[in-house]
Amino acid sequence: MALRGVLRAGEVAIRVMDMKAARQHYGDRMGLHEMMTDDTGRVYYKAWDEHDHHSIVLREADSPGMDYFAFKVFDDATLTTLEQKLEAFGLQVERIEAGVYPKSGRRIQFVLPSGHTMQLYAHKEQVGNTLGLVNPGVVPDEGVIRGFRINRLDHLLLGGGHLDENVRLFTEVFDFDLGEKLVDHESGASLAVFLSCSTKPHDIAFVLQPQQNKFHHVSFLLESAHDVIKAADMIGKYRIPVDVGPNRHGVTRGATIYFFDPSGNRNEVFAEGYVHYPDTPTLVWDTRELGQATFSQDNTPRESFLTVLT
Amino acid sequence: MALRGVLRAGEVAIRVMDMKAARQHYGDRMGLHEMMTDDTGRVYYKAWDEHDHHSIVLREADSPGMDYFAFKVFDDATLTTLEQKLEAFGLQVERIEAGVYPKSGRRIQFVLPSGHTMQLYAHKEQVGNTLGLVNPGVVPDEGVIRGFRINRLDHLLLGGGHLDENVRLFTEVFDFDLGEKLVDHESGASLAVFLSCSTKPHDIAFVLQPQQNKFHHVSFLLESAHDVIKAADMIGKYRIPVDVGPNRHGVTRGATIYFFDPSGNRNEVFAEGYVHYPDTPTLVWDTRELGQATFSQDNTPRESFLTVLT
Amino acid sequence: MALRGVLRAGEVAIRVMDMKAARQHYGDRMGLHEMMTDDTGRVYYKAWDEHDHHSIVLREADSPGMDYFAFKVFDDATLTTLEQKLEAFGLQVERIEAGVYPKSGRRIQFVLPSGHTMQLYAHKEQVGNTLGLVNPGVVPDEGVIRGFRINRLDHLLLGGGHLDENVRLFTEVFDFDLGEKLVDHESGASLAVFLSCSTKPHDIAFVLQPQQNKFHHVSFLLESAHDVIKAADMIGKYRIPVDVGPNRHGVTRGATIYFFDPSGNRNEVFAEGYVHYPDTPTLVWDTRELGQATFSQDNTPRESFLTVLT
Amino acid sequence: MALRGVLRAGEVAIRVMDMKAARQHYGDRMGLHEMMTDDTGRVYYKAWDEHDHHSIVLREADSPGMDYFAFKVFDDATLTTLEQKLEAFGLQVERIEAGVYPKSGRRIQFVLPSGHTMQLYAHKEQVGNTLGLVNPGVVPDEGVIRGFRINRLDHLLLGGGHLDENVRLFTEVFDFDLGEKLVDHESGASLAVFLSCSTKPHDIAFVLQPQQNKFHHVSFLLESAHDVIKAADMIGKYRIPVDVGPNRHGVTRGATIYFFDPSGNRNEVFAEGYVHYPDTPTLVWDTRELGQATFSQDNTPRESFLTVLT
């Protein structure tokens, strides 16, 4: 009870086509901290205020997109319980031994109705946020917060089919809430669903796509809308391709800018947004207000939002 | 699992000595929305972005302080479970029928080791935040967000003895995490404890006091540190007595200003602070860094912080 | 010496096609203060922190655009001096008696090489900013700062030909500095020029246009980039057509959002930007960096910036 | 005309008692850029967005305080004119050849009625702000803006007698405006005067002191109140002694924090404040509102404000 069970998106594994360019993007420019390279060439990053060893894994590949994502759960017993619930839900669950993924305890892995590979794990090596645990103070040394001033991995948005099945899985098995959804005004069909396991307005979201297992974006939490503007300044400085923004989402009320990594994977920096609780009623947007739902400061839907995924 | 069980501080009942002055303070100046007056003369307030009917209850009395506080829990079954756990913990639990407290379902009530009366409830009438639930948009009509631009009731800090017993109760019975604590450097004794049931850095805190059942402050969430500065401007305009601030707490890393209502009850407006998770290690501060722990921008402990309570 | 001579853009007279819609836009939504209607039906507005009686004049007409603009000068002697200098420059100067324009002392009027009607005046009735002049405090009463939270009329951008003649006029006659200019990379021809008579990065600017006497936008000063985001939220709420933004200009480094009034006149809210001094070297942008010069957060030039004027 | 004549505070020469500690303070922590050391051991600093070679000069000495300050004027002819006006005012003016002060053209020097040594100069070597003058962009490379994120030297406040004589000098000789003043409510005597030669609310100020030639503080401009909070976080991190703040001044409406360098010289970081024009009426504060005038967010006058100078 309280915040228990599934805690947060803890790891996203992204395919990039040029690791050198990707390291410049995620490390030098965005300012994530490079933590290690493994013997397969994968590069691991964390945001400064995360305590766990890493949250982003880059793998060089022939096409962009996402290999898998993983949520951290409260403890090992939760993993055991969720394995049973997932199988009862009808999913095939694969067990992965501790250590197969670096710095990580055992995991379970399964495929969502939308085609995405999802993992759960309860343990990852903790390295802290540089402030220490005794009399930590509030400000890390100069240089620790850098680039886009990213605090944490925040959420991800994925594209595929069977959104309502995904919602059923996340709410029934994982106890997420459906915070918001976007529906077709005519048919009532779900076009996008936004799910929360915390007080954040969303921890994961899905958008309807003709293809399974597509990657829309990974989002990073900044401290304030002020920092979204500052990140946008650096995006402009480095000529990073911008998809949309700065703007505000109607869904979540978060301040946002969407941009692309050198391989075409969409990134977001995000701040603010309301405080969500399980007793907050689900907010429903329909296609009459697609502009407001997606980009509320100019009410202009972008075609790329629904069509450009990796 | 996910965010379940005990959700948040949902109601704080404050004694004020002059209701007219209190309404000017909490309503006209701070900008809380007055929702109703009951037949005992109590006045009920909510912050604009709360969905439930009210979160603050004022009662005119001969002395300031807090009558009780109440946390909202996920559902009625949680109430039943917690009643059993509380009794197993050794507390005497009183049942209060639905409707005894206006707009509220049934409650259970008990006294904390620190002497405070705490309640739990699962249901309160929801009135929404004026945006509606269908295509809500992001900005309420002009005048809805006013005064200090308070989004929500955030947390409370209470004074009394037996802090470690309180911690044991909140962690064992309610599954809160001990996010931070302040200890005496010599003895290691707990001087203040900060407990979270969510991703907020604290949902409730206790400070060691020679008297039981004391009220340190109730805190309201603003959108950003920017709004803390703006609230401070209005505090100055209205000559509201300031205790400390604007400043930043070392504990929670939140931006803050402490001020007093006309009866001497301490209020706070608060923003930012880190994102807490149950796997975040407990941060420990000791009395060598009492200044940094409490007011990190000038490292100056204020005597009033430990001595002025109602 | 010090800040003397020509002080600031003090009045912009805008044609609107529907006064009722215009009042809703400039008054109810943007939050300018309506000060009076004259017997020709013109409506006069001021921003809250301006001391003079009005800065915006709306006139109902068959087409949008700008009738004239006026700069305030330090004193009557400055008017006399500038009349002589303007005639020496080769312009025909018309004298307008005090009182012809409401609340205003005498004016001189002339036509710029770009075809715009410009006026100068030294006196306008002062009504203050509601704070008073003795122990004013810092925060006006609630409701005085409203809507987009506009502090002041800031600058205007006008379209026409003969930009270099305009620059010569403003620098030689009025002692403005050419703070920045945008030139064609091939020919070196001026496409836009940005002129300052203060520590603001620009007080007036001109953009090359095939037609004389065109109106690009009038810009209003907000306190911070934070308030630009908040204004953008309200622009979205009211479905006000957005041209570009929120974004940052490369020229001036100011935070911006461009939007249109109901008649199609472009407005801007603006904040930040660097501190300009006469000894700051002129910054030159060329068409290779047209995107960065205009909208530096996405480096994307907008065709409308150069083509949509009233 | 426009902004001409005396432009701004361009150089403040501060005595420090330990240069190593001073370099850590002004350079490593505040983030000013160390530009050079001369053969007398003086160390020269500039803020990132200043174009001139330096604005702060540190000299190691046995006592803290200010050696002199210098304002930059528009051109050499201004220097000549002001020399005559100063002598006509009754001051003795000393000429200092170009090159005596490093990177500087010729200067004139004189002593104010308050006992302070003031200089004027028209030329100083320009080194730019790292962005360049052609297609400069808006964001310098990472590391250029650092520490307290100071944009510029902003203003200074000096203590001494004969405030009204100082006002007469600055307004009659230099064409400054008396933007605000603080007077004794009983006697009407000037306790502090705030003078502007620009659109800033003050460029220099004087506070009544029993001793002549005292130094109250030098102030640095930050981009926003947001950055004042962030600077305060770093002040807390480095345990820099805080005098007052974060807070807001009633006078100027600026966001502020006062702190001390290791030698006890007071520094300030400052942001916001209203836009001043010569036609803005002088604002008068009296001692009944000394708290609001100085620190408007808590209305609490600090004794140190009137008594601690170097």
DSSP string, D240-300: PPEEEEEEE-SGGGEEEEEEE-TTS-EEEEEEE-PPP-TTSPPEEEEGGGHHHHH-TTTT-
SS (H, E, C) D43-72: EEEECCCCCECCCEEEEECCCCEEEEEEEE
* Residue B290 CA, distance from chain mean position: 22
Integer CA distances (angstroms), C44 to C30, C52, C55, C131, C280, in order: 14, 12, 7, 21, 36
* Residue C299 CA, distance from chain mean position: 24
User: Between D137, D138, D237, which is nearest A137 by CB?
Assistant: D237
Please indicate whether residue B268 is annotated as part of the active site: yes
Cβ contact B242–D297 (<8 Å): yes
Token pair, residue A309, equals 């995924």
- Is B273's Cβ below 8 Å from some Cβ in D? no
- Is B218's Cβ below 8 Å from some Cβ in D? no
Cβ contact C1–D4 (<8 Å): yes
Q: C310 to chain D, minimum CA–CA distance in Å? A: 29
Token pair, residue D113, equals 């009625």
Residue C1 clears pLDDT 70, i.e. is over it: no
Place A12 in a pLDDT band, splitting at 50, 70 and 90: very high
| ipTM here | 0.95
User: What span, in angstroms and rounded, lies between the C-alpha atoms of A173 and A175?
Assistant: 6
Burial-class residue A65 by CB neighbours within 10 Å (0-12, 13-18, 19+): middle
Query: Which is the catalytic residue, given D25, D258, D272, D276?
Result: D258
- Selected from 2.40.50.140, 3.10.180.10, 1.25.40.10, 1.10.1740.10, the CATH number assigned to the domain covering B6-121 reads 3.10.180.10
Strands D56-60 and D6-16: parallel
Interval C210-243: pLDDT, tens: 999 999 999 999 999 999 999 999 999 999 999 9
Burial-class residue A97 by CB neighbours within 10 Å (0-12, 13-18, 19+): exposed
Return the bridge partners of B96, or none: B107
102-131 in chain B: CB under 8 A from chain A: 126, 128
Predicted confidence pLDDT, tens digits, chain D (310 residues): 578 899 999 999 999 999 999 999 999 999 999 999 999 999 999 999 999 999 999 999 999 999 999 999 999 999 999 999 999 999 999 999 999 999 999 999 999 999 999 999 999 999 999 999 999 999 999 999 999 999 999 999 999 999 999 999 999 999 999 999 999 999 999 999 999 999 999 999 999 999 999 999 999 999 999 999 999 999 999 999 999 989 999 999 999 999 999 999 999 999 999 999 999 999 999 999 999 999 999 999 998 888 999 9
Burial-class residue A217 by CB neighbours within 10 Å (0-12, 13-18, 19+): buried
User: What span, in angstroms and rounded, lies between the C-alpha atoms of C17 and C12?
Assistant: 16
Q: SS3 breakdown of chain A: % helix, strand, coil, rounded to 5? A: 20, 40, 40
Q: What pLDDT is stored for residue C282 in this prediction?
A: 97
Task: Name the nearest CA neighbour of D226 among A142, B227, B148.
Answer: B227
* Residue A267 CA, distance from chain mean position: 9
Cβ(C53)–Cβ(C82) below 8 Å: no
Query: Which is the catalytic residue, given D155, D180, D272, D276?
Result: D155
User: What span, in angstroms and rounded, lies between the C-alpha atoms of C50 and D6?
Assistant: 25
Burial-class residue A142 by CB neighbours within 10 Å (0-12, 13-18, 19+): middle
Eight-class DSSP state of D4: E
All residues of chain B having their beta carbon less than 8 Å from the beta carbon of residue A5 are 1-2, 4
Whole-model pTM? Answer: 0.97
Cβ(C255)–Cβ(C201) below 8 Å: no
Q: Where are the beta strands (DSSP E) in chain C?
A: 2-4, 6-16, 33-37, 43-46, 56-60, 65-73, 94-96, 107-111, 117-121, 152-160, 177-183, 190-196, 204-208, 214-221, 242-248, 254-260, 266-272, 283-286
User: What average pLDDT does range B108-114 have in this prediction?
Assistant: 98
Cβ contact C233–B138 (<8 Å): yes
Cβ(C281)–Cβ(D51) below 8 Å: yes
Eight-class DSSP state of C289: G
Cβ contact D135–C288 (<8 Å): yes
52-81 in chain B: CB under 8 A from chain A: 52, 72, 74, 78
Strands A6-16 and B6-16: unpaired
- Residues of A known to be catalytic: 155, 202, 217, 249, 258, 268
Q: What pLDDT is stored for residue B57 in this prediction?
A: 98
To 5 degrees, how large is the angle CA A159–CA A293–CA B230?
125
- Domain residue spans of chain B: 6-121, 152-307
Question: Which chains form contacts with chain C, at 3 or more CB pairs under 8 Å?
Answer: A, B, D
User: What average pLDDT does range A271-280 have in this prediction?
Assistant: 96
Cβ contact D229–B225 (<8 Å): yes
Phi-psi region of B3 (alpha: psi -120 to 50; beta: other; left: phi over 0): beta
Cβ contact C297–A247 (<8 Å): no
- Is C142's Cβ below 8 Å from some Cβ in B? yes
SS3 B266: strand
Cβ(B97)–Cβ(B60) below 8 Å: no
Cβ contact D139–A233 (<8 Å): yes
User: What average pLDDT does range B169-178 have in this prediction?
Assistant: 97
Query: Which is the catalytic residue, given C25, C53, C155, C216?
Result: C155
R_g over Cα of chain C: 18
Place B221 in a pLDDT band, splitting at 50, 70 and 90: very high
Residue of A nearest to D231 (CA): A139
Token pair, residue A95, equals 């067990």
Cβ contact B234–C138 (<8 Å): no
Residue A117 clears pLDDT 70, i.e. is over it: yes
Place B1 in a pLDDT band, splitting at 50, 70 and 90: low
φ, ψ (nearest 5 deg) of residue A127: -115, -10
Q: What pLDDT is stored for residue D3 in this prediction?
A: 87
Q: What pLDDT is stored for residue C129 in this prediction?
A: 97
> Which letter, b or e, does each residue of B82-92 get, where b requires 16 or more Cβ atoms within 10 Å of its Cβ?
bbebbeebebe
Interval B242-295: pLDDT, tens: 999 899 999 999 999 999 999 999 999 999 999 999 999 999 999 999 999 999
Please name the residue that has the structure tokens 């800090």. B157
Place C2 in a pLDDT band, splitting at 50, 70 and 90: confident
Residue of C nearest to A299 (CA): C236
| Mutation site for D-interface testing, chosen from C138, C219, C283 by largest number of D Cβ within 10 Å | C138
ω into residue B201 within 30 of 0, thus cis?
Answer: no
Token pair, residue C269, equals 């809210």
Eight-class DSSP state of D145: B
Phi-psi region of B76 (alpha: psi -120 to 50; beta: other; left: phi over 0): alpha
User: What average pLDDT does range A204-209 have in this prediction?
Assistant: 97
Q: A30 to chain B, minimum CA–CA distance in Å? A: 20
* Residue A79 CA, distance from chain mean position: 20
| Mutation site for B-interface testing, chosen from A80, A169, A182, A277 by largest number of B Cβ within 10 Å | A277
Give the fold, CATH level 3, of D152-307.
Answer: 2,3-Dihydroxybiphenyl 1,2-Dioxygenase; domain 1 (3.10.180)
Please indicate whether residue D258 is annotated as part of the active site: yes
Cβ(C212)–Cβ(C115) below 8 Å: yes
User: What average pLDDT does range A242-270 have in this prediction?
Assistant: 97
User: What span, in angstroms and rounded, lies between the C-alpha atoms of A59 and A34?
Assistant: 14
Do C152-307 and C6-121 fall under one CATH topology? yes
Token pair, residue A72, equals 């951290």
Residue of D nearest to C153 (CA): D275
Interval B13-33: pLDDT, tens: 999 999 999 999 999 999 999
Residue of C nearest to B225 (CA): C226
Please indicate whether residue B258 is annotated as part of the active site: yes
Token pair, residue D128, equals 């730019």
User: What average pLDDT does range C117-137 have in this prediction?
Assistant: 97
Query: Which is the catalytic residue, given B26, B50, B258, B276?
Result: B258
Residue of D nearest to A230 (CA): D139
All residues of chain D having their beta carbon less than 8 Å from the beta carbon of residue C6 are 1-2
Eight-class DSSP state of D228: H
User: What span, in angstroms and rounded, lies between the C-alpha atoms of A237 and A231?
Assistant: 10
Cβ(A273)–Cβ(A219) below 8 Å: no
Cβ contact B226–A221 (<8 Å): no
* Residue C54 CA, distance from chain mean position: 14
Please indicate whether residue D155 is annotated as part of the active site: yes
To 5 degrees, how large is the angle CA C293–CA C298–CA C304?
65
Place A1 in a pLDDT band, splitting at 50, 70 and 90: low
Please name the residue that has the structure tokens 């329909």. A286
All residues of chain C having their beta carbon less than 8 Å from the beta carbon of residue B237 are 137-139
User: What span, in angstroms and rounded, lies between the C-alpha atoms of A46 and A31?
Assistant: 9
